[in-house]
Amino acid sequence: MKKKMSNLVLYRKYRPQKFSEVVGQDHVTTTLLNAIKTGKIAHAYLFTGPKGCGKTTVARLLAKAVNCEKKESPEPCNKCFSCAEIINGRAMDIIEIDAASHRGIDEIRDLREGIRFGPAKLKYKVFILDEAHQLTSGAANALLKMLEEAPSHVIFILATTEPQKMIPTIISRCQRFDFRKIEGGKMKERLKKIIKNEGVSVEEGVLSMVVTVAGGSLRDAESVLSQILSFVPQGNVIKKEDVKSLLGVIEKSLIGDFLDLLLKDKAIEALKLMDSAFEQGIGVETFYENIVYYLREMMVVKIISTDKESKQVQSVIKSLLVGLTKEDIERIEEQVKDISAEDIKKMINSFFEAGERIKYSPLPRLPLEVAVAEITEILRKEEK
């Protein structure tokens, strides 16, 4: 019997409630757990990293853990009064601020007034400031003064995707943690657990598509999966064709065929295949992006092909070529056998230039056609 799926979006429904549930950020969670265990809590933290990698989630976990009333473990117990208040969004002492919409000096001055008073119910008053780099210059300087004079009952957690835009003096006052994009393999395992828990089935290759579209953001992957589950009738198997149609994903074999034709000096056939793809409703930019992804995979395979049996190379294959089947890798190995890494680099550069021109061209497909002509000429010169 299939489980009834909740209406709650997946990234909220499956938001980690313990540090051990956070995916792909062990270097952060291990350090924070040790700090909580030893009581070495900083007064200000800076979480940096790409979107959707867990910065705000870990900030909330830290707020919960430092206020947890059970001390058996540095992990939050999720059962005591403090944990329950935070989980249910009722904790007055946990203040989340979006700096993108509250970026002025007046808002930060209001914040300063709130800092003067101790926590209403919890041990610590925790301020989570998201997109902290968007504060105005005046607001940033006001925040700096608060960080320098913060009372012992206050903890600041700043989160940002662009730390280079923050003033260095704020960064120097914080304990910094750099979050990473989540590896495809770990993201895939997480999605498998969600799929199993939701009681649905997927065809082989569906989750690889989701991981590719998400680009290292688990939140995006879970949002895409939510979209797919809403699109596919409950009880049905989620098929690759349905996902391709919904997300506009191109079958990898099509791009492989296109590049095969280029490598075999069959530019006319390559142009015909590209034209056929456009007639089927595939967008020019989508086609371009998939070419670049594929060429990147060719470059990685070419670089590691000389020593692919070593453990180090196997680790690279696992982390950099996630989503590729054994058959995909074997096909790419065959494609790069008679071409140099330098030629692959030239192909990438040609398509990069085409990608820049697509947005300005009155005929969007023309830059890709020019790239085909350029690459054909490059490869012919190499053969002479």
Residue 376 in any domain: the answer is: yes
Are residues 33 and 77 both part of a single domain?
yes
Residue 10 in any domain: the answer is: no
Q: Give the C-alpha separation, 86 to 248, whole Å.
A: 39
Residue 82 pLDDT greater than 80, yes or no: yes
Angle, CA 289 vertex, CA 288 and CA 295 arms, to 5°? 90
Residue 191 in any domain: the answer is: yes
Distance of CA 271 to the CA centre of its chain: 33
Q: Please give the structure tokens belonging to residue 116.
A: 């003067």
- Rounded mean pLDDT of 152-165? 91
Query: Helix (H, G, I), strand (E, B), or coil: what is residue 202?
Result: strand
Are residues 260 and 355 both part of a single domain?
yes
Burial annotation 126-144 (CB, 10 A radius, 16+ → b, else e): bbbbbbbbbbeeebbebbb
Q: What is the pLDDT of residue 62?
A: 95
CB neighbour class for 381 (10 Å; exposed up to 12, middle 13-18, buried from 19):
exposed
Residue 276 pLDDT greater than 50, yes or no: yes
At 5, the pLDDT band (50, 70, 90 cuts) reads very low
Residue 256 pLDDT greater than 80, yes or no: yes
Q: Closest by alpha carbon to 372, among 345, 336, 347?
A: 347
Q: What is the pLDDT of residue 241?
A: 75
Q: What is the pLDDT of residue 46?
A: 95
Burial annotation 291-302 (CB, 10 A radius, 16+ → b, else e): bbbbbebbbbbb
Q: Give the C-alpha separation, 152 to 145, whole Å.
A: 15
Q: How many domains does the chain have?
A: 3
Q: Give the C-alpha separation, 117 to 71, whole Å.
A: 26
Instruction: Let me know: does 291 contact 259? Beta carbons within 8 Å.
Output: yes
Domain end among 227, 247, 267: 247
* Per-residue pLDDT tens over the stretch 166-179: 899 999 999 999 99
Angle, CA 147 vertex, CA 143 and CA 150 arms, to 5°? 120
Residue 268 pLDDT greater than 60, yes or no: yes
Are residues 66 and 129 both part of a single domain?
yes
Residue keyed to tokens 């085409």: 354
Q: For all residues of the chain together, what is the average pLDDT?
A: 84
Domain end among 247, 270, 295: 247
At 2, the pLDDT band (50, 70, 90 cuts) reads very low
What Å distances lie between residue 152 and 69, 117, 156, 295, 356, CA to CA?
18, 11, 11, 53, 51
CB neighbour class for 39 (10 Å; exposed up to 12, middle 13-18, buried from 19):
exposed
Q: Please give the structure tokens belonging to residue 278.
A: 């456009």
Instruction: Let me know: does 235 contact 4? Beta carbons within 8 Å.
Output: no
At 252, the pLDDT band (50, 70, 90 cuts) reads confident
Q: Please give the structure tokens belonging to residue 134.
A: 């968007």
Are residues 267 and 349 both part of a single domain?
yes
Query: Helix (H, G, I), strand (E, B), or coil: what is residue 9?
Result: coil
Residue numbers of the domain that contains 69: 25-178
Are residues 243 and 280 both part of a single domain?
no
Are residues 214 and 151 both part of a single domain?
no
Q: Give the C-alpha separation, 323 to 246, whole Å.
A: 19
Q: Please give the structure tokens belonging to residue 96.
A: 């989340």
Are residues 75 and 143 both part of a single domain?
yes
Are residues 82 and 154 both part of a single domain?
yes
Are residues 310 and 226 both part of a single domain?
no
* Per-residue pLDDT tens over the stretch 303-340: 877 665 555 655 655 556 656 667 788 889 899 988 88
257-261, 299-303, 379-383: the lowest-pLDDT one: 379-383
155-159, 250-254, 283-287: the lowest-pLDDT one: 250-254
Domain end among 143, 178, 213: 178
What is the CATH number for 221? 1.10.8.60
Q: What is the pLDDT of residue 1?
A: 38
30-34, 68-72, 378-382: the lowest-pLDDT one: 378-382
Are residues 60 and 124 both part of a single domain?
yes
Instruction: Let me know: does 36 contact 74? Beta carbons within 8 Å.
Output: yes
* Per-residue pLDDT tens over the stretch 219-243: 888 888 888 887 766 566 777 777 7
- SS3 for 316-377 is HHHHHCCCCCHHHHHHHHHHHCCCCHHHHHHHHHHHHHHHHHHCCCCCCCHHHHHHHHHHHH
Residue 17 in any domain: the answer is: no
* Per-residue pLDDT tens over the stretch 188-210: 888 888 888 888 888 777 888 78
- Rounded mean pLDDT of 122-138? 89
Q: What is the CA radius of gyration of the chain?
A: 25
Q: Give the C-alpha separation, 297 to 28, whole Å.
A: 29
Residue 5 in any domain: the answer is: no
73-87, 250-264, 300-314: the lowest-pLDDT one: 300-314
Q: Closest by alpha carbon to 66, among 145, 159, 156?
A: 156
Residue 351 in any domain: the answer is: yes
Amino acid at 95: I
Are residues 133 and 198 both part of a single domain?
no
Q: Closest by alpha carbon to 352, among 291, 300, 267, 303?
A: 291
